[in-house]
Structure 1
Amino acid sequence: MIDVVQVNRRSMFQKVLVTFVISLLFATVGMYAGKFVPPVLMFPLAVAEFVMIFAAFLLRRSKSVGYTFVYVFTFLSGITTYPIVSHYISAAGAQVVLMAFGSTFGIFAVMGLIGAVTKKDLSFLSTILFVALLALVFISIFNIFSPLTSGGMLAYSVIGSIVFSLYILFDFNQMKHHHITEEMVPLLTLSLYLDFINLFINILQILGIWQSKD
Protein backbone atom coordinates (compact mmCIF):
# COMPACT_ATOMS: atom_id res chain seq x y z
CA MET A 1 0.00 0.00 0.00
CA ILE A 2 2.81 2.40 0.91
CA ASP A 3 4.54 1.69 -2.40
CA VAL A 4 1.30 2.37 -4.31
CA VAL A 5 0.86 5.70 -2.51
CA GLN A 6 4.46 6.70 -3.19
CA VAL A 7 4.21 5.73 -6.86
CA ASN A 8 0.97 7.70 -7.22
CA ARG A 9 2.51 10.75 -5.50
CA ARG A 10 5.59 10.55 -7.74
CA SER A 11 3.35 10.22 -10.80
CA MET A 12 1.34 13.33 -9.87
CA PHE A 13 4.54 15.23 -9.08
CA GLN A 14 5.91 14.40 -12.52
CA LYS A 15 2.62 15.38 -14.14
CA VAL A 16 2.82 18.82 -12.53
CA LEU A 17 6.36 19.27 -13.87
CA VAL A 18 5.40 18.13 -17.38
CA THR A 19 2.41 20.49 -17.39
CA PHE A 20 4.70 23.27 -16.16
CA VAL A 21 7.09 22.72 -19.08
CA ILE A 22 4.14 22.80 -21.49
CA SER A 23 2.97 26.05 -19.90
CA LEU A 24 6.43 27.55 -20.55
CA LEU A 25 6.10 26.54 -24.19
CA PHE A 26 2.73 28.31 -24.40
CA ALA A 27 4.31 31.38 -22.80
CA THR A 28 7.15 31.26 -25.34
CA VAL A 29 4.65 31.14 -28.21
CA GLY A 30 2.77 34.01 -26.58
CA MET A 31 5.97 36.02 -26.30
CA TYR A 32 6.61 35.52 -30.01
CA ALA A 33 3.01 36.52 -30.77
CA GLY A 34 3.55 39.65 -28.66
CA LYS A 35 5.73 41.02 -31.46
CA PHE A 36 2.59 41.44 -33.56
CA VAL A 37 0.26 42.79 -30.87
CA PRO A 38 -0.28 46.59 -30.99
CA PRO A 39 1.02 48.35 -27.84
CA VAL A 40 -2.45 49.78 -27.20
CA LEU A 41 -3.74 46.26 -26.52
CA MET A 42 -1.08 45.39 -23.94
CA PHE A 43 -2.86 47.09 -21.05
CA PRO A 44 -6.24 45.36 -21.67
CA LEU A 45 -4.41 42.04 -21.96
CA ALA A 46 -2.56 42.72 -18.69
CA VAL A 47 -5.93 43.47 -17.03
CA ALA A 48 -7.33 40.22 -18.41
CA GLU A 49 -4.29 38.40 -17.04
CA PHE A 50 -4.85 39.95 -13.60
CA VAL A 51 -8.55 38.99 -13.68
CA MET A 52 -7.58 35.40 -14.49
CA ILE A 53 -5.17 35.29 -11.54
CA PHE A 54 -7.92 36.63 -9.27
CA ALA A 55 -10.37 34.08 -10.68
CA ALA A 56 -7.86 31.27 -10.08
CA PHE A 57 -7.49 32.45 -6.47
CA LEU A 58 -11.27 32.35 -5.99
CA LEU A 59 -11.64 28.97 -7.69
CA ARG A 60 -8.71 27.26 -5.98
CA ARG A 61 -10.83 25.66 -3.23
CA SER A 62 -13.31 24.20 -5.71
CA LYS A 63 -10.40 23.00 -7.87
CA SER A 64 -12.17 24.42 -10.94
CA VAL A 65 -8.98 25.61 -12.64
CA GLY A 66 -8.40 23.39 -15.67
CA TYR A 67 -5.61 22.83 -18.17
CA THR A 68 -7.20 25.12 -20.77
CA PHE A 69 -7.30 27.93 -18.21
CA VAL A 70 -3.59 27.48 -17.45
CA TYR A 71 -2.52 27.37 -21.08
CA VAL A 72 -4.62 30.41 -22.06
CA PHE A 73 -3.21 32.31 -19.08
CA THR A 74 0.41 31.43 -19.85
CA PHE A 75 -0.09 32.38 -23.50
CA LEU A 76 -1.45 35.80 -22.44
CA SER A 77 1.39 36.11 -19.94
CA GLY A 78 3.88 35.53 -22.74
CA ILE A 79 2.30 38.32 -24.78
CA THR A 80 2.39 40.82 -21.91
CA THR A 81 5.97 39.83 -21.03
CA TYR A 82 7.19 40.56 -24.55
CA PRO A 83 7.45 44.38 -24.11
CA ILE A 84 9.62 43.89 -20.99
CA VAL A 85 11.93 41.44 -22.73
CA SER A 86 12.03 43.59 -25.86
CA HIS A 87 12.97 46.64 -23.78
CA TYR A 88 15.92 44.91 -22.14
CA ILE A 89 17.09 43.38 -25.43
CA SER A 90 17.27 46.85 -26.97
CA ALA A 91 18.67 48.51 -23.84
CA ALA A 92 21.13 45.91 -22.58
CA GLY A 93 21.41 43.26 -25.27
CA ALA A 94 20.06 39.78 -25.85
CA GLN A 95 22.81 38.25 -23.69
CA VAL A 96 21.29 39.90 -20.60
CA VAL A 97 17.92 38.25 -21.31
CA LEU A 98 19.59 34.88 -21.87
CA MET A 99 21.58 35.31 -18.66
CA ALA A 100 18.38 36.15 -16.76
CA PHE A 101 16.61 33.09 -18.15
CA GLY A 102 19.57 30.83 -17.35
CA SER A 103 19.79 32.22 -13.81
CA THR A 104 16.05 31.78 -13.33
CA PHE A 105 16.18 28.20 -14.55
CA GLY A 106 19.14 27.43 -12.27
CA ILE A 107 17.51 28.96 -9.19
CA PHE A 108 14.22 27.22 -10.00
CA ALA A 109 15.96 23.85 -10.24
CA VAL A 110 18.01 24.31 -7.05
CA MET A 111 15.20 25.70 -4.90
CA GLY A 112 12.78 23.13 -6.27
CA LEU A 113 15.17 20.30 -5.42
CA ILE A 114 15.75 21.64 -1.90
CA GLY A 115 12.02 22.00 -1.35
CA ALA A 116 11.36 18.48 -2.64
CA VAL A 117 13.97 16.80 -0.45
CA THR A 118 13.41 18.83 2.74
CA LYS A 119 11.78 16.57 5.30
CA LYS A 120 10.30 19.44 7.32
CA ASP A 121 6.89 20.73 6.25
CA LEU A 122 7.39 24.42 5.46
CA SER A 123 3.70 25.35 5.70
CA PHE A 124 4.60 27.99 8.28
CA LEU A 125 6.11 30.07 5.45
CA SER A 126 2.70 30.55 3.84
CA THR A 127 1.66 33.64 5.78
CA ILE A 128 5.13 35.22 5.69
CA LEU A 129 5.40 34.85 1.92
CA PHE A 130 1.85 36.07 1.34
CA VAL A 131 2.51 39.25 3.35
CA ALA A 132 5.76 39.78 1.41
CA LEU A 133 3.87 39.29 -1.85
CA LEU A 134 1.24 41.85 -0.87
CA ALA A 135 4.02 44.31 -0.03
CA LEU A 136 5.54 43.79 -3.48
CA VAL A 137 2.14 44.34 -5.13
CA PHE A 138 1.63 47.54 -3.13
CA ILE A 139 5.06 48.86 -4.11
CA SER A 140 4.47 48.02 -7.77
CA ILE A 141 1.18 49.97 -7.70
CA PHE A 142 2.93 52.87 -5.96
CA ASN A 143 5.63 52.74 -8.66
CA ILE A 144 2.99 53.44 -11.33
CA PHE A 145 2.11 56.80 -9.79
CA SER A 146 5.50 57.67 -8.32
CA PRO A 147 8.28 55.83 -10.19
CA LEU A 148 11.09 54.42 -8.07
CA THR A 149 14.68 55.54 -8.59
CA SER A 150 17.06 53.04 -10.18
CA GLY A 151 18.38 52.23 -6.70
CA GLY A 152 14.87 51.73 -5.38
CA MET A 153 13.97 49.55 -8.36
CA LEU A 154 17.11 47.50 -7.84
CA ALA A 155 16.22 46.93 -4.17
CA TYR A 156 12.63 46.03 -5.16
CA SER A 157 13.86 43.52 -7.74
CA VAL A 158 16.34 41.91 -5.31
CA ILE A 159 13.61 41.50 -2.68
CA GLY A 160 11.23 40.19 -5.35
CA SER A 161 13.82 37.64 -6.48
CA ILE A 162 14.23 36.41 -2.89
CA VAL A 163 10.46 36.18 -2.33
CA PHE A 164 9.77 34.21 -5.50
CA SER A 165 12.78 31.96 -4.93
CA LEU A 166 11.32 31.12 -1.53
CA TYR A 167 7.93 30.57 -3.15
CA ILE A 168 9.53 27.94 -5.42
CA LEU A 169 11.01 26.25 -2.35
CA PHE A 170 7.65 26.45 -0.59
CA ASP A 171 5.54 25.14 -3.49
CA PHE A 172 7.78 22.14 -4.12
CA ASN A 173 7.85 21.39 -0.40
CA GLN A 174 4.06 21.49 -0.21
CA MET A 175 3.78 19.11 -3.17
CA LYS A 176 6.01 16.69 -1.30
CA HIS A 177 4.18 16.84 2.02
CA HIS A 178 0.58 17.00 0.80
CA HIS A 179 -1.43 14.63 -1.33
CA ILE A 180 -1.73 15.72 -4.96
CA THR A 181 -4.88 14.81 -6.88
CA GLU A 182 -5.48 15.02 -10.62
CA GLU A 183 -7.72 18.08 -10.11
CA MET A 184 -4.93 19.95 -8.34
CA VAL A 185 -2.37 19.62 -11.16
CA PRO A 186 -3.42 22.71 -13.19
CA LEU A 187 -3.48 24.98 -10.14
CA LEU A 188 -0.11 23.73 -8.91
CA THR A 189 1.27 24.28 -12.40
CA LEU A 190 -0.07 27.83 -12.39
CA SER A 191 1.64 28.49 -9.05
CA LEU A 192 4.99 27.23 -10.35
CA TYR A 193 4.62 29.25 -13.55
CA LEU A 194 3.92 32.45 -11.60
CA ASP A 195 6.97 31.74 -9.42
CA PHE A 196 9.13 31.23 -12.49
CA ILE A 197 7.97 34.18 -14.60
CA ASN A 198 8.07 36.64 -11.70
CA LEU A 199 11.55 35.47 -10.70
CA PHE A 200 12.66 35.85 -14.34
CA ILE A 201 11.31 39.42 -14.58
CA ASN A 202 12.95 40.44 -11.30
CA ILE A 203 16.32 38.96 -12.26
CA LEU A 204 16.04 40.59 -15.69
CA GLN A 205 15.45 43.94 -14.01
CA ILE A 206 18.45 43.43 -11.72
CA LEU A 207 20.76 42.59 -14.62
CA GLY A 208 19.32 45.40 -16.75
CA ILE A 209 19.87 48.01 -14.05
CA TRP A 210 23.34 46.62 -13.29
CA GLN A 211 24.24 46.70 -16.98
CA SER A 212 23.10 50.32 -17.32
CA LYS A 213 25.46 51.34 -14.51
CA ASP A 214 28.51 49.90 -16.29
Structure 2
Amino acid sequence: MERTITGTLSGSFAHVLQTFALSLLVSFLGTLVGAMVVPKSMIPLFIIAEVVMLVAAIVIRIRGKHIGYGFLYAFTAVSGVTLYPVIMAYGGILGAQVVSGAFFATAAIFGGLAFYAHRSQRDFSFLGGFLFAGTIGLVLMSVIGMFVGFGSVINLVWSMVGILIFSGWVLYDVAQYRNGVGTEEVPLAALNIYLDFINLFLYILRFIASIVGFNRN
Protein backbone atom coordinates (compact mmCIF):
# COMPACT_ATOMS: atom_id res chain seq x y z
CA MET A 1 0.00 0.00 0.00
CA GLU A 2 1.25 3.48 -0.80
CA ARG A 3 2.59 4.97 2.41
CA THR A 4 3.55 8.47 1.32
CA ILE A 5 1.88 11.43 3.01
CA THR A 6 0.71 14.45 1.07
CA GLY A 7 -1.29 17.50 1.87
CA THR A 8 -1.24 20.00 4.70
CA LEU A 9 0.15 18.59 7.94
CA SER A 10 -2.90 19.41 10.03
CA GLY A 11 -3.56 15.92 11.39
CA SER A 12 -1.33 15.38 14.42
CA PHE A 13 0.43 12.13 15.18
CA ALA A 14 -1.61 11.95 18.38
CA HIS A 15 -4.76 12.04 16.23
CA VAL A 16 -3.40 9.18 14.13
CA LEU A 17 -2.73 7.14 17.28
CA GLN A 18 -6.19 7.92 18.68
CA THR A 19 -7.77 6.77 15.42
CA PHE A 20 -5.62 3.63 15.49
CA ALA A 21 -6.68 2.90 19.09
CA LEU A 22 -10.33 3.29 18.12
CA SER A 23 -9.72 0.98 15.16
CA LEU A 24 -8.41 -1.67 17.55
CA LEU A 25 -11.53 -1.27 19.67
CA VAL A 26 -13.77 -1.65 16.61
CA SER A 27 -11.78 -4.74 15.63
CA PHE A 28 -12.28 -6.18 19.12
CA LEU A 29 -16.03 -5.59 18.82
CA GLY A 30 -15.91 -7.31 15.43
CA THR A 31 -14.22 -10.28 17.10
CA LEU A 32 -17.07 -10.46 19.61
CA VAL A 33 -19.58 -10.36 16.76
CA GLY A 34 -17.65 -13.15 15.06
CA ALA A 35 -17.80 -15.18 18.25
CA MET A 36 -21.47 -14.67 19.09
CA VAL A 37 -23.30 -13.92 15.85
CA VAL A 38 -21.48 -14.95 12.68
CA PRO A 39 -21.70 -18.69 11.83
CA LYS A 40 -18.50 -20.44 10.77
CA SER A 41 -19.89 -20.98 7.29
CA MET A 42 -20.01 -17.19 6.79
CA ILE A 43 -16.37 -16.53 7.76
CA PRO A 44 -15.01 -17.12 4.20
CA LEU A 45 -17.31 -14.36 2.95
CA PHE A 46 -15.87 -11.96 5.51
CA ILE A 47 -12.35 -12.96 4.46
CA ILE A 48 -13.22 -12.20 0.83
CA ALA A 49 -14.74 -8.86 1.89
CA GLU A 50 -11.59 -8.03 3.86
CA VAL A 51 -9.32 -8.76 0.88
CA VAL A 52 -11.56 -6.80 -1.50
CA MET A 53 -11.60 -3.80 0.86
CA LEU A 54 -7.82 -3.89 1.22
CA VAL A 55 -7.36 -3.99 -2.55
CA ALA A 56 -9.90 -1.17 -2.88
CA ALA A 57 -7.93 0.93 -0.38
CA ILE A 58 -4.77 0.42 -2.46
CA VAL A 59 -6.56 1.36 -5.69
CA ILE A 60 -8.12 4.43 -4.07
CA ARG A 61 -4.70 5.56 -2.85
CA ILE A 62 -3.03 4.95 -6.21
CA ARG A 63 -5.67 7.15 -7.82
CA GLY A 64 -4.71 9.95 -5.45
CA LYS A 65 -7.92 9.82 -3.44
CA HIS A 66 -8.46 9.05 0.23
CA ILE A 67 -10.28 6.50 2.33
CA GLY A 68 -12.66 7.83 4.98
CA TYR A 69 -13.28 6.95 8.60
CA GLY A 70 -16.32 4.88 7.63
CA PHE A 71 -14.16 2.74 5.36
CA LEU A 72 -11.50 2.38 8.07
CA TYR A 73 -13.91 1.25 10.78
CA ALA A 74 -15.83 -1.03 8.42
CA PHE A 75 -12.57 -2.70 7.43
CA THR A 76 -11.38 -3.14 11.03
CA ALA A 77 -14.79 -4.53 12.04
CA VAL A 78 -14.62 -7.10 9.22
CA SER A 79 -11.02 -7.81 10.16
CA GLY A 80 -12.13 -8.49 13.72
CA VAL A 81 -14.67 -11.05 12.52
CA THR A 82 -12.01 -12.87 10.49
CA LEU A 83 -9.57 -12.78 13.42
CA TYR A 84 -11.92 -14.70 15.70
CA PRO A 85 -11.38 -18.22 14.23
CA VAL A 86 -7.61 -17.58 14.04
CA ILE A 87 -7.41 -16.55 17.68
CA MET A 88 -9.61 -19.48 18.70
CA ALA A 89 -7.34 -21.87 16.80
CA TYR A 90 -4.26 -20.53 18.57
CA GLY A 91 -6.18 -20.59 21.84
CA GLY A 92 -6.83 -24.29 21.33
CA ILE A 93 -3.11 -24.90 20.76
CA LEU A 94 -1.58 -22.52 23.28
CA GLY A 95 -4.34 -21.71 25.75
CA ALA A 96 -6.18 -18.44 26.35
CA GLN A 97 -3.58 -17.12 28.80
CA VAL A 98 -0.75 -17.52 26.29
CA VAL A 99 -2.78 -15.80 23.57
CA SER A 100 -3.53 -12.93 25.96
CA GLY A 101 0.15 -12.77 26.87
CA ALA A 102 1.06 -12.62 23.19
CA PHE A 103 -1.30 -9.67 22.73
CA PHE A 104 0.28 -7.77 25.62
CA ALA A 105 3.75 -8.66 24.33
CA THR A 106 2.72 -7.26 20.95
CA ALA A 107 1.49 -4.07 22.59
CA ALA A 108 4.78 -3.74 24.50
CA ILE A 109 6.93 -4.34 21.40
CA PHE A 110 4.77 -2.02 19.30
CA GLY A 111 4.88 0.69 21.97
CA GLY A 112 8.65 0.42 22.37
CA LEU A 113 9.28 0.59 18.62
CA ALA A 114 6.83 3.47 18.14
CA PHE A 115 8.39 5.40 21.03
CA TYR A 116 11.87 4.88 19.62
CA ALA A 117 10.88 5.88 16.09
CA HIS A 118 9.09 8.97 17.38
CA ARG A 119 11.73 10.17 19.82
CA SER A 120 14.88 9.26 17.92
CA GLN A 121 13.86 11.30 14.85
CA ARG A 122 15.81 8.81 12.73
CA ASP A 123 14.94 8.42 9.07
CA PHE A 124 13.74 4.87 8.41
CA SER A 125 12.71 5.47 4.81
CA PHE A 126 15.63 3.31 3.64
CA LEU A 127 13.69 0.30 4.97
CA GLY A 128 10.79 0.81 2.56
CA GLY A 129 12.00 -1.32 -0.35
CA PHE A 130 13.19 -4.16 1.85
CA LEU A 131 9.96 -4.20 3.87
CA PHE A 132 7.78 -4.18 0.75
CA ALA A 133 9.73 -7.06 -0.79
CA GLY A 134 9.64 -8.95 2.50
CA THR A 135 5.88 -8.47 2.81
CA ILE A 136 5.36 -9.83 -0.71
CA GLY A 137 7.47 -12.82 0.28
CA LEU A 138 5.32 -13.43 3.35
CA VAL A 139 2.15 -13.27 1.23
CA LEU A 140 3.61 -15.80 -1.22
CA MET A 141 4.55 -18.08 1.69
CA SER A 142 0.96 -17.84 2.96
CA VAL A 143 -0.39 -18.83 -0.45
CA ILE A 144 2.03 -21.75 -0.70
CA GLY A 145 1.13 -22.76 2.85
CA MET A 146 -2.47 -23.27 1.76
CA PHE A 147 -1.36 -26.17 -0.41
CA VAL A 148 1.84 -27.41 1.26
CA GLY A 149 2.24 -28.17 4.93
CA PHE A 150 5.32 -26.61 6.51
CA GLY A 151 7.31 -28.26 9.28
CA SER A 152 7.98 -26.69 12.68
CA VAL A 153 11.42 -25.37 11.69
CA ILE A 154 10.13 -23.59 8.57
CA ASN A 155 7.20 -22.16 10.53
CA LEU A 156 9.60 -20.95 13.20
CA VAL A 157 11.85 -19.19 10.68
CA TRP A 158 8.81 -17.84 8.81
CA SER A 159 7.35 -16.39 12.00
CA MET A 160 10.68 -14.79 12.99
CA VAL A 161 10.97 -13.15 9.58
CA GLY A 162 7.36 -11.92 9.89
CA ILE A 163 8.07 -10.41 13.31
CA LEU A 164 11.15 -8.61 11.98
CA ILE A 165 9.34 -7.29 8.90
CA PHE A 166 6.33 -5.92 10.76
CA SER A 167 8.54 -4.51 13.50
CA GLY A 168 10.29 -2.70 10.65
CA TRP A 169 6.95 -1.46 9.33
CA VAL A 170 6.17 0.02 12.76
CA LEU A 171 9.46 1.94 12.69
CA TYR A 172 8.89 3.01 9.09
CA ASP A 173 5.28 4.13 9.48
CA VAL A 174 5.74 5.96 12.78
CA ALA A 175 8.74 7.79 11.28
CA GLN A 176 6.55 8.76 8.31
CA TYR A 177 3.70 10.04 10.46
CA ARG A 178 5.43 11.42 13.57
CA ASN A 179 5.40 15.04 12.33
CA GLY A 180 1.74 14.91 11.40
CA VAL A 181 -0.20 14.09 8.26
CA GLY A 182 -2.82 15.76 6.14
CA THR A 183 -6.25 15.64 7.77
CA GLU A 184 -7.61 13.54 4.93
CA GLU A 185 -4.72 11.08 5.36
CA VAL A 186 -5.44 10.21 9.00
CA PRO A 187 -7.66 7.16 8.20
CA LEU A 188 -5.02 5.70 5.86
CA ALA A 189 -2.24 6.30 8.39
CA ALA A 190 -4.31 4.63 11.12
CA LEU A 191 -5.09 1.71 8.79
CA ASN A 192 -1.40 1.16 8.05
CA ILE A 193 -0.53 1.17 11.75
CA TYR A 194 -3.47 -1.15 12.49
CA LEU A 195 -2.19 -3.62 9.89
CA ASP A 196 1.31 -3.39 11.39
CA PHE A 197 -0.02 -4.19 14.86
CA ILE A 198 -2.35 -7.03 13.86
CA ASN A 199 0.22 -8.73 11.66
CA LEU A 200 2.88 -8.41 14.36
CA PHE A 201 0.45 -10.02 16.81
CA LEU A 202 -0.33 -12.89 14.43
CA TYR A 203 3.33 -13.60 13.73
CA ILE A 204 4.12 -13.59 17.44
CA LEU A 205 1.35 -16.16 17.91
CA ARG A 206 2.78 -18.21 15.03
CA PHE A 207 6.23 -17.97 16.61
CA ILE A 208 5.00 -19.27 19.97
CA ALA A 209 2.99 -22.04 18.31
CA SER A 210 6.05 -23.01 16.24
CA ILE A 211 8.17 -23.29 19.38
CA VAL A 212 5.52 -25.50 20.97
CA GLY A 213 5.39 -27.68 17.85
CA PHE A 214 9.18 -27.83 17.66
CA ASN A 215 9.46 -28.93 21.30
CA ARG A 216 6.81 -31.63 20.79
CA ASN A 217 8.81 -33.04 17.91
TM-score normalized by structure 1?
0.91
How many correspondences in the alignment? Answer: 206
Whether the 8 Å contact between 2:166 and 2:199 is mirrored in structure 1 is: yes
Q: Give the corresponding residue for 1:135.
A: 137
- Structure 1 stretches of 5 or more lacking a match? 1-7
Give 2:29's aligned amino acid. Answer: V
Query: How big is the shift at 1:10?
Result: 8.7
Q: Which has the higher helix share?
A: 1
The reply on whether 1:22 has 2:58 as its aligned counterpart is: no
The reply on whether 1:58 has 2:78 as its aligned counterpart is: no
Query: How big is the shift at 1:143?
Result: 0.5
Q: Give the corresponding residue for 2:45.
A: 44
**For each residue in 1:106-158, what CA deviation from the matched residue of structure 2 results, as whole angstroms up to 9, or x when unmatched?**
11101111111233322121111100000000111000011211221121111
Q: 2:68 & 2:10 partners in 1: Cα distance?
A: 21
Q: 2:86 & 2:95 partners in 1: Cα distance?
A: 13
Q: 2:176 & 2:45 partners in 1: Cα distance?
A: 34
Whether the 8 Å contact between 2:127 and 2:172 is mirrored in structure 1 is: yes
What is the identity percentage for the equivalent residue pairs of Structure 1 and Structure 2?
Answer: 37
Question: Out of 90, 98, 116, which is 2:118 matched to?
Answer: 116
Q: Give the corresponding residue for 1:5.
A: none
Whether the 8 Å contact between 1:88 and 1:96 is mirrored in structure 2 is: no
Q: 1:120 to 1:176 in 2, by over 3 A?
A: same
Q: 1:43 & 1:153 partners in 2: Cα distance?
A: 24
Q: Give the corresponding residue for 2:3.
A: none
Q: Give the corresponding residue for 2:76.
A: 74
Q: Secondary structure at the match of 1:145?
A: coil
Higher RCO (CA-CA < 8 Å; seq separation 6+): 2
Q: 2:181 & 2:168 partners in 1: Cα distance?
A: 20
Q: Give the corresponding residue for 1:3.
A: none
Q: 1:198 to 1:56 in 2, by over 3 A?
A: same
Q: 1:11 & 1:72 partners in 2: Cα distance?
A: 21
Query: How big is the shift at 1:188?
Result: 0.2
Query: How big is the shift at 1:11?
Result: 5.8
Q: Judge which range, 83-92 or 98-107, deviates more.
A: 83-92
Give 2:183's aligned amino acid. Answer: E
Query: How big is the shift at 1:9?
Result: 5.8
TM-score normalized by structure 2?
0.89
Q: 1:171 & 1:189 partners in 2: Cα distance?
A: 10
**For each residue in 1:170-211, what CA deviation from the matched residue of structure 2 results, as whole angstroms up to 9, or x when unmatched?**
00011135x511000000000000000000011011112323
Q: 1:83 & 1:208 partners in 2: Cα distance?
A: 15
Whether the 8 Å contact between 2:28 and 2:80 is mirrored in structure 1 is: yes
Q: Spell out the pairing of 1:155-174 with structure 2 (5 A cutoff).
A: 155-174=157-176
**For each residue in 1:33-54, what CA deviation from the matched residue of structure 2 results, as whole angstroms up to 9, or x when unmatched?**
1113222211121111011111
- Structure 2 stretches of 5 or more lacking a match? 1-7
Whether the 8 Å contact between 1:65 and 1:186 is mirrored in structure 2 is: yes
Whether the 8 Å contact between 1:20 and 1:190 is mirrored in structure 2 is: yes
The reply on whether 1:98 has 2:103 as its aligned counterpart is: no
Give 2:12's aligned amino acid. Answer: M
